[in-house]
Each structure stands twice: as C-alpha cells, then as structure tokens.
C-alpha cells in the first residue's frame, strides 16, 4: 500500500467516524429521546473525561485490561503447546480432533456454571472462563499450521535426521506462525468480550461491572463512556498485535 493510499484510507476512516458521531448528536438532540436513555456524544465525552480525571474510570479500565491479558496469554500458551503436540502427530489428530470439533461449538456460557461450581464467583474464575473461550482460535490454528508443513521441508528434516522435537521447533512452528498469530488476534477479541461478561456476572471490579451499574442506575452517559473505552481497548490491542505480527512475519515479505 502506497503512502497516498494509506493517507486516503485513514482520511476515509476518520470521515466515516465523524459522520457517525454527527448523526448520533443530531439524533440525541432532535429526536425527542430523553438523555437518560440516549445521551449525546457531548455528554458521553464529559462523562469520559470526568471519569478519568476525577473518578475511577482509569482503575476500572486497567482492571479489565489485566484480566483480558492474563486470560489471553494463558489461552495462547496452552493453545500453542497443545496444538503443536496434536498437529505434529497424525495419530493424535485422528483420536483427539473429533472430540475437539465436538466441544468447540459449545458456547463458553455453557461452561460457566461448571467453572463457577469449582471456583466460585471470583476473579480467578473469570480468568479461567476467558482462557476456555480464547483458546480455541489459537489451538485450531496451531493444529492446522503444524500439520500442513510443506512436504519438501519434511523431506529436508528427514535428510538431516532431525528428531520429532527438532522438526517441530525448526520447521513446523515457523511454518505455522501466520496461522498462530491470526488465531491469537481472534483470541484477544474473545478475551475482551468474556472479561466484560465475567465482570458483569461476578460483580468483579472492572468496566463490565461499572457499565452494568450505570445501566441499572440510568446513568446513560457513564454507560456510553464505558462502551467507548471498551472500543478503544479493542482498537489499541488489535493495532498492537498487528504491529507485532508485521514485525514477526517480515521474513514472508522478502
């Protein structure tokens, strides 16, 4: 993408966002909907600024981000390790993958009562639920990437008389990098969603609980401020992971 195209793309994105905000302001100001239900972007912005400088919105945001990252890192690590072991063994794929395909479509919410029964309503329970939900994109992407190594690379590893671990470390995992990083990006989005849902269910300190409390008390400006912060968290985390992915995969552009 050239510099001109990148500038046009960025300008178009900013223009669309500005139009949406302007439309939101017009609807809030002239549609007759009470501000208690639909505050304008001006009210949401004031609540956002007040929450960060005079309130505890910063602490709430940090609590949610920490919970999201802990669950995502645990899911990524477990997904890569287990996925590499399954993907590198044909017999393991034949025996285990059908079970994975059976469990994968089950919503994470179905596992929540089971996890609650063992761990109770706690922050650790939320982290475990996040990991359960975020592990699937990483696990399946790793299995696919590791099990689909270029046949010529397999022949090279055999001619070099590499053992199973050497073949996995030097050929299979580098070959699966693109798939693994794509799975991690999906897992990060799932982690943020589950962190908010978990905080709402367990009343753990964080943005999810704050948004729920604002909705119950009809403080719609604070509710929208919390939603805006969640959107910014998702945008920044995705951009950060994109930059990391671009750096890690620079060898593919040579």
Output 121 or 237, whichever has higher pLDDT.
Answer: 237
**187 contacts 76 by C-beta, under 8 angstroms:** yes
Q: For the purposes of burial, counting CB atoms within 10 Å of the CB of 55, is it exposed (0-12), middle (13-18) or buried (19 or more)? A: middle
Query: Are the CB atoms for 250 and 73 separated by under 8 Å?
Result: no
Q: Which is higher by pLDDT, 154 or 128?
A: 128
Residue 144 burial (10 A CB sphere; 0-12, 13-18, 19+): middle
C-beta of residue 201 within 8 angstroms of C-beta of residue 112:
yes
Mean pLDDT of 216-242: 91
What DSSP string runs through 160-197?
Answer: TT--HHHHIIIIIHHHTHHHHHHHHHHHHHHHHHHHHH
For residue range 29-65, list pLDDT tens digits in order: 887 788 888 888 889 899 999 988 888 999 999 999 9
Alpha-carbon span 87 to 171, nearest angstrom = 13
With contact defined as beta carbons under 8 Å apart, do 48 and 57 qualify? yes
Could you report the per-residue pLDDT of 195-217, keeping only the tens digit for each? 999 999 888 999 999 999 999 88
The answer, yes or no, to whether residue 78 has pLDDT greater than 90, is yes
pLDDT score at 151: 64
How crowded is the C-beta side of 53, counted as CA atoms within 13 Å?
A: 6
Alpha helix locations (H) across the chain? 3-30, 41-53, 57-87, 90-103, 108-119, 123-147, 151-159, 164-167, 173-175, 177-202, 207-216, 220-248
Q: How far apart are CA 113 and CA 152, in angstroms?
A: 48
Q: What is the pLDDT of residue 189?
A: 92
Is residue 170 scored above 80 in pLDDT? no
The pLDDT value given to residue 196: 94
pLDDT for res 156: 64
User: Residue 186 has what pLDDT?
Assistant: 92
Q: How buried is 88 (Cβ within 10 angstroms: 0-12 exposed, 13-18 middle, 19+ buried)?
A: buried
- The CB density around residue 143, as the number of other CB atoms within 10 Å, is 26
The fold of the 38-253 domain, in CATH, is: MetI-like fold (1.10.3720)
Task: Tell me the pLDDT band of 113, cut-offs 50, 70 and 90.
Answer: confident
Of 170 and 132, the one with more pLDDT: 132
Domain ranges of the chain: 1-32, 38-253
- Dihedral, 206, 43, 231, 20 alpha carbons, nearest 10: 160
């Amino acid at each position: 993408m050239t510099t001109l195209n990148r500038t046009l793309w960025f300008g178009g994105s900013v223009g669309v966002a500005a139009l949406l905000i302007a439309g939101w302001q017009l609807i809030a100001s002239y549609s007759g909907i009470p501000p208690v239900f639909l505050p304008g972007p001006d009210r949401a912005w004031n609540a956002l600024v007040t929450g960060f400088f005079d309130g505890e919105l910063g602490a709430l945001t940090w609590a949610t981000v920490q919970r999201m990252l802990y669950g995502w890192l645990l899911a990524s690590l477990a997904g890569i390790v287990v996925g590499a072991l399954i993907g590198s063994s044909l017999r393991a794929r034949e025996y285990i993958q059908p079970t994975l395909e059976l469990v994968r479509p089950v919503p994470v919410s179905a596992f929540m009562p089971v996890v609650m029964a063992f761990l109770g309503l706690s922050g650790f329970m939320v982290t475990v639920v996040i990991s359960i939900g975020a592990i699937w994109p990483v696990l399946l992407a790793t299995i696919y990437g590791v099990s689909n190594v270029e046949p010529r690379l397999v022949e090279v590893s055999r001619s070099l008389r590499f053992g199973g671990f050497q073949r996995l470390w030097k050929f299979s995992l580098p070959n699966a990098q693109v798939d693994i990083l794509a799975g991690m990006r999906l897992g990060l989005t799932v982690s943020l969603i589950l962190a908010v849902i978990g905080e709402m269910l367990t009343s753990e300190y964080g943005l999810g609980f704050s948004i729920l409390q604002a909705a119950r008390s009809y403080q719609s400006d604070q509710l929208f401020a919390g939603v805006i912060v969640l959107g910014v968290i998702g945008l920044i985390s995705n951009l950060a992971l994109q930059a990391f992915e671009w750096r890690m995969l620079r060898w593919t552009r040579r």
